[in-house]
Amino acid sequence: MNSLTILGGGNTAFSVAANLTHLGHRITLWEIASFEHTLDPIRDSNEITLVGVAEQGPAKIHRLTTDIAEALNANDFVLVIVPSYAHEPFLEMCAPHLTADHTIVLMPGNLGSLTWSRRLRETGAALPTLAEVDTAPYVCRKTMPDTATIWGVVTQLGVGVLPNTRTEQVKARLNLLFPGVIAYPDVMACGLSAMNPIVHPAGVLMNAGRVEYSGGEFYFYKEGVTPSVAKVVMKVDEERRAVGSALGYNLQPANEAFHAAGFGPQGDIWETINRSRMLTALKAPGALESRWLTEDIPYGLASWSSVGSQYGVVTPTMDALVDIGSIVMGFDGWAAARDVDKLGIKNASLDALATHLATGRHLP
């Protein structure tokens, strides 16, 4: 039995807490007090009902709490399963209670481990081992306030660790929870390999009229990612891989990464997505104001573009999607971006960046 803490009360946090409980792990589930209503439907029973392709039935969660000190004192291994725009408030809550013995895993991270490192150093808080994964471990949703449905299980979850000298320890611990974990060279390579920003902004913006007209009542991947949309997706992917190449990484093409993770069969991106049993079961977001834009643009595309710009890589397709998305979202995706300044790597040479990623030591 593994004992661990999960921070968050949304779709994936509920699904992970329930499935890992079924598998014999002891879970402390914490939610920030302003969102404690997400725990209310299960507070009396401590049970989350799980349906779908993974474990099934009621899962009795070991502990529910809105006390962050209790949640972090309970375990040294912590999964933070919230959208990237919640990383900052969660960090502020966690900082006073963290120790060097903690391991914090952002699921997914979108380079958030670098932001956590910068902010913790600025506040003088203890610096734990920081890690992030490239995608959520399940394709899942809350289908009732006390019920989660898992349509698919990722078979190859990628992790990056800061400092990267602790990669094998974190990978081994994660592999007990999500078998098939692979390691990236570091957190930068992992963040540049996030899967959602590759597909979501292009797919949602190119289907904007349909999303608004139907309220999301269509199958996003099956009906929305057409061959023309797939061309734009792969142009984003080409630019993402160019950013990675400038930093010394050989990033996997999106279609190969989606297949390796178990999302769909081998083929080009359209074939992999449209022949995927789990992805084709998902409907589009019900409105354009969803994390498929509000997370994947500022914490995905705009962040990648900022890194690319610092190291001499142009990303015109990403930039166009950020510009158009900013109009649709009603806020400036560039101003909200997790840029090189927020990542704590502004003006860092490639050598200085590599040293930071390897050792976790603060950049000058």
Distance, C-alpha 117 to centroid of its chain: 17
pLDDT at position 298: 98
- Give me the half-sphere count of Cα atoms (radius 13 Å) on the Cβ side of residue 298: 21
The model's pLDDT over 174-219, given as tens digits with 9 standing for 90+, comes to 999 999 999 999 999 999 999 999 999 999 999 999 999 999 999 9
Going through 53-195 in order, the beta strands assigned E by DSSP cover 57-60, 63-65, 77-80, 103-106, 129-133, 138-144, 147-153, 158-162, 182-183
Q: What distances in angstroms separate CA 102 from CA 4, 12, 107, 240, one per listed residue?
A: 11, 22, 16, 31
Closest CA to 137 of 96, 114, 108: 108
The pLDDT profile of the chain, 364 residues, written as one tens digit per residue, is 689 999 999 999 999 999 999 999 999 999 999 999 999 999 999 999 999 999 999 999 999 999 999 999 999 999 999 999 999 999 999 999 999 999 999 999 999 999 999 999 999 999 999 999 999 999 999 999 999 999 999 999 999 999 999 999 999 999 999 999 999 999 999 999 999 999 999 999 999 999 999 999 999 999 999 999 999 999 999 999 999 999 999 999 999 999 999 999 999 999 999 999 889 988 999 999 999 999 999 999 999 999 999 999 999 999 999 999 999 999 999 999 999 999 999 999 999 999 999 999 877 7
Angle between the N-to-C axes of helices 196-206 and 227-246, in degrees from 0 to 180, rounded to the nearest 10: 140
What are the structural domains of the chain? 3-191 (3.40.50.720), 196-354 (1.10.1040.10)
The reported pLDDT for the residue numbered 1 is 65
